[in-house]
Amino acid sequence: MIRTRGLTHLALKVNDAERAFAFYRDVFGVVAVYRERGFIQAQTPGAWDVLLFEEQPGTAAGSGSIAHFGFRLVDPRDIDEAARAVESAGGQVVMQGEFVPGEPYLFCRDPDGYDLEIWYELPTTADPQT
């Protein structure tokens, strides 16, 4: 078993990333911790949860538009163990690499075909204080 911070993020396909972010900012107080054109990563201050808004106009349609869900690693050195665990449990690693140095990730599919991500992220200012 690999150690994670649990189910910590949800990636949503949206028609307008800025509009989606503004709603969650205004309702729940999320803050943007990463932005690029058509993509915003938001986090609730004091928590590990992350919402990703991935702009894909015309594809957003309620909960059926979830792109993937993810589990955040406690230790980046566990990424290879995570890949082995996925495959041992009947899943498939689709892609593995690093977003930036020190932030490894893997995208995989579970046996039913659900897409998920296992990744490590360097601490952000919105992380819980431990």
Q: pLDDT tens for residues 45-83? A: 988 899 999 998 887 666 677 788 888 899 999 999 999
Half-sphere exposure of 89 (CA within 13 A, CB side): 16
Instruction: Give domain status of residue 127, yes or no.
Output: no
Lowest mean pLDDT among 94-98, 101-105, 112-116, 118-122: 112-116
Residue 28 CB contacts under 8 Å (≥ 6 apart), including other chains:
44
What is residue 34's predicted lDDT score, i.e. its pLDDT? 96
Q: What is the pTM of this model?
A: 0.73
What CATH number is associated with residue 60? 3.10.180.10
SS percent in the chain: helix, strand, coil, step 5: 20, 45, 40
Total tally of structural domains belonging to the chain: 1
8 Å CB contact between 5 and 11: no
Q: Containing H/E element for 37?
A: none
Domain with 21 in it: 4-119
Instruction: Give domain status of residue 80, yes or no.
Output: yes
Instruction: Give domain status of residue 126, yes or no.
Output: no
Residue 26 in tokens? 């205004």
